[in-house]
Amino acid sequence: MTEYKHHQRLLACLLALIFAAPLALAAPADKSKPNIVLVLMDNFGYGEPGVYGGGVMRGAPTPRIDSIAAEGFQLTNYNVEAECTPSRAALMTGRYGARTRLRPNGPPRDLWYGISKWEITLAEMLSSSGYATGIFGKWHLGNAEGRYPTDQGFDEWYGIPYSSDQAFWPDSDSFQKDAGVEFTYITTSKRGETPEKHEVYGLAKRATIDREITDHAIDFIKRRAKAKQPFFAYLPYTQTHEPVNAHPDFKGKTGNGSFADVLAQTDAYVGELLDTIDKLGLKDNTIFIFTSDNGREGVRRSFGSTGIWRGTMFSPYEGSLRVPFLIRWPEKIPARQVSNDIVHAIDVFPTLANFVGGDIPQDRILDGVDQSAFLMGKTKNSARESMVIYLTSELFGAKWRNWKILLKELDDHYSVRPIAYPSIYNLIIDPKEEEPEAFYLDDTWVETPLWRVIEEHQASMEKDPGAPDE
């Protein structure tokens, strides 16, 4: 072989290596199946991220969370339910939490237990569409056989089955071990296997669990990317539910207290997830969502922020119902979009189903609507202009466009306060819901569309046979 030909072959080999390297990091070949990363905060209010008026105003800048808005769509009227379990049920099923409680033989359950095995979850829909599915964090939708996340469509799980307030128990001086109360444990499982309990979820583990959730999720993403399989990574973080304890790496970092430290910590973890997606060459084919299950905590000593809105979780007010929602999908969802149109957590299921070509269940009522055209900038307005408001299984009111009707009000102690007439608020004029519009006679026309929303929903609930008893 001549020296010239030898150099040519060597050059060809080098070029092949250069061009092969990016291919090793490429997204799965099937571009119709975008990866999905869904970050769900716990009791994280509207006023926390910088793009919602928080960030530095809350003691900690949030540049990585804010970057999702810069590269995608920010919703300022994204709504959830007023408590953890019904809100997560709505997100996972595309159905109002009250509907997932309906049973054919008797009234709804008195206490929130989760979702029945009959419900079809977001993970089950995506799994049926060829996705690897992983949950890393808090489930809170059932903790008995057949109700764990790996019974409901997830391939693997690392996290806790219940709520973080139980992390107080192991460290409480008044805890009585003979009371028949079981601690919460870090739990892992894989599809088809019995969940395994690991260390007790006490205050020390409370401070480190979101770090571990992030690490497990990044490992999952890397494994699925290497296998070239589309994936759904669901990260229901445990912060900022009480107790708000920062990881030792972040404790005292901001100088503005534990809540600001956790806000800085969360921003850093979100940044790690974004960087992982980017470095793996998956950015253009990954839908990344950042949102929350509820507004700020409903206890007075909580230092969370609902921004300009009234109230906290456990209430029918906007501070309970409106939370951040940011979504990024480069070249599919135009950057720097902001909208104040109504969108609800129940819309996530049908929207993602449309994005991935998944099947929508036809044997039950789905309350969610497909928002894909809206998010992709193909239509100007949301596909939804109304929603109903529940506290547990009690219907409290409805929203229609910028208006809201409440059939009942709460006092400062979260007790129902009787009112002679329903309260009607214009949320543009009165975001704090301080002055019912019923006092202004020129606005009473809005009662008609508001009552229509309630009546149509009630008729739908009456016709719903409910889930089989399981």
The residues annotated as belonging to the active site are: 84, 140
CA–CA dist 142, 147 (Å, integer): 5
Torsion angle, alpha carbons of 82, 85, 90, 93, to 10: 180
φ, ψ (nearest 5 deg) of residue 158: -135, 125
Q: Which of 309, 281, 320 is nearest to 86 (CA)?
A: 320
Contact 98, 461 (CB under 8 A): yes
Round the CA-based radius of gyration of the chain to a whole number and report it: 23
- Long-range contacts for 443-452 (Cβ within 8 Å, ≥24 apart)? 446/400, 446/403, 447/405, 447/422, 449/386, 449/400, 449/401, 449/403, 450/398, 450/400, 450/403, 450/404, 450/405, 450/424, 451/405
CB atoms within 10 A of CB 316: 24
The length of the chain is 470
The pair of structure tokens assigned to 394 is 């009690």
CA–CA dist 305, 58 (Å, integer): 8
User: Which region, left, alpha or beta, applies to residue 342 given φ > 0 means left and ψ of -120 to 50 means alpha?
Assistant: beta
CA–CA dist 75, 78 (Å, integer): 6
